[in-house]
Amino acid sequence: MDKAYWNRMGRAYDDEIFDVRANDRNGTVGRAVDALANRKEAAFDFGCGTGKFSRFLATRFRKVDALDISESCLNQAGTACGEHSNIVFQQADLSAAKTTFPAARFGLCVNVLLSESHHRRQGILKFMERHIRRGGHLVIVVPALESVLLTSARRIQWNLKDGLSYRSAAKGDESHLAAKGASISHGLITIAGVPTKHYLKEELEMTLGEFSFEMQSTEKVEYEWSSEFTEPPEWMREPYPWDWLAVAKRV
């Protein structure tokens, strides 16, 4: 997931990248931001993409520094958010040790810590540690590894309801995960051909704690089952697939 990848992806970003803001069933991310919003303060949108959340932050903070590695995404974001003069879009590799901006008391990071590279994820976390002031807050969203396992259980359940034996249903699910290159022990699931890091809730708390962030709360950002399956059956409702959202304080 380097600069070249995201520049290529940026040309089809809205078609290829899952829109958390549009699919958040309960408005969980928005509520978490609103609880910490301050029109007198500046905020970061770490890994802003095409600005889905940048415009939301712009109505709740004095200034928004929206950072992304992809110039293509930033160009689209600038056009989409043109009515908000308090957003400053800037190209930045968040994993780069020497990149520096003025620190703020709030940051939002939605599905940015996805790289299969541990070194790259560590770099991004160090960047956020440097740029959130002590006493400030980070709202972070990451893919949930537990949700991957729930989706597997749902797939098996669906196949059982369609008349397959448990052995066949379970084997089919194992084949599906194998085809996706899943490495559950490392939290890596291949999405659209790209190994993508997923997190246990406790793992997220442990990871944030290594970078001076104290996790204060966690919530599920829930999505419809259509985010996982094409034409899921009507009976497939709660519990829904989810990402983890954490509110963490810089200590």
Mean pLDDT score across all residues of the chain: 93
pLDDT category at 126 given cuts 50, 70, 90 is: very high
According to the model, what pLDDT value does residue 96 have?
87
108-135 mean pLDDT: 97
Q: What is the pTM of this model?
A: 0.92
| pLDDT > 90: percent of the chain | 85
Is there a contact between 239 and 216 (Cβ–Cβ < 8 Å)? no
- In this prediction, residues 215-241 reach a mean pLDDT of 97
Which pLDDT score is estimated for 14?
59
Residue 245 has a pLDDT of: 98
Over residues 107-119, mean pLDDT: 97
Number of helical (H) and strand (E) elements in the chain, helices listed first = 10, 9
Mean local confidence (pLDDT), 93-99: 87
Rounded Cα gap, residues 150 and 131, in angstroms:
35
Q: Of the candidates 228, 246, 227, 203, which has an alpha carbon nearest to the alpha carbon of residue 111?
A: 246
